[in-house]
Amino acid sequence: MLKGKTTPVTMNLMTTLAGNARLNSISGITDNYIQLMKAKRGEVEATIISAEPLNKTQTAAVSDAMKSQFPAGAKVVLKTEVNPSILGGLQIQIGDKFLDLSVGSRIEEVGRTTV
Task: Please say if the pLDDT value at position 28 is more than 90.
Answer: yes
Q: What's the pLDDT tens digit per position in 89-106?
A: 999 998 788 999 999 888
The CATH number of the domain holding residue 62 is 3.40.30
| Domains identified in the chain, total number | 2
Q: What is the mean pLDDT of residues 75-93?
A: 91
> What's the CA gap between 70 and 20, in Å, rounded?
40
Q: What are phi and psi of 68, to 5 degrees?
A: -70, -15
Same domain, 51 and 95: yes
Average pLDDT for residues 27-31, to the nearest whole number? Answer: 93
Q: Are residues 102 and 58 in the same domain?
A: yes
Please say if the pLDDT value at position 74 is more than 90.
no
Mean pLDDT of the 39-58 span = 90
Are residues 61 and 79 part of one domain?
A: yes
Say yes or no to pLDDT of 8 above 70. Answer: yes
Interval 12-34 mean pLDDT = 93
Residue 115, pLDDT > 60, answer no
* 101 and 115 belong to one structural domain: yes
Same domain, yes or no: 46 and 98: yes
Confirm if 17 and 23 have CB atoms less than 8 A apart.
yes
Domain interval for residue 5: 1-41
Task: Tell me whether strands 89-94 and 43-50 are parallel, antiparallel or unpaired.
Answer: antiparallel
pLDDT category of residue 16 using cuts at 50, 70 and 90: very high
pLDDT at 62: 87
pTM reported for the whole predicted model? 0.65
